[in-house]
Amino acid sequence: MQVNRGYSYFPGLQILVMDGNGVSRMATKGLLVHLGCDVTAAGSSEECLRIFSHEHKVVFTDVGISGMDGYEVVSVLQDRFSARHQRPLITILTANTDRATKDNCLRVGMDGVVLKPVSLEKMRSVYRCSYRM
């Protein structure tokens, strides 16, 4: 389901959010909608890969999700693009603050890390980076 309403800091920016926790997924989606984004949400890695389209400019993925983990999802998404500049900005959502998690994210080619709980300011900073496209 896509919704577009809110402040329009990033009007029409197509976002895909994957989080296995329904409360966390809806909170993240709500913040993004508040910023004016068009948000599609997925509750599993399989759903994320099924509904992903090239119109999504930013993907937020949780690492600890059932099925494929967030790292594997990133790998599959990256394989769908022939060049790095064509793929969406991929950012992990995690409550893990350890260095190993951040290192793994960068190793697999994620563009950033957003620590949970998410906030408007954290999301704004990610979106500013998304306009590199």
Summarised one tens digit per residue, pLDDT across range 30-86 is: 999 988 899 999 999 999 999 999 899 999 999 888 788 888 998 998 888 877 778
In sequence order, which residues have a C-beta less than 8 Å from that of residue 104 and are 6 or more positions away? Answer: 71
pLDDT in tens, 85-121: 788 989 989 888 888 888 888 888 888 888 889 998 8
User: Could you list the residue range(s) of the whole structural domain that residue 80 is in?
Assistant: 14-130
Instruction: Answer yes or no: is 8 within a domain.
Output: no
- Which CATH number characterizes residue 90's domain? 3.40.50.2300
What's the rounded Cα separation, in Å, for the pair 102 and 90?
13
Domain count, the chain: 1
The reported pLDDT for the residue numbered 1 is 41
The reported pLDDT for the residue numbered 129 is 63
The reported pLDDT for the residue numbered 67 is 81
Instruction: Answer yes or no: is 79 within a domain.
Output: yes
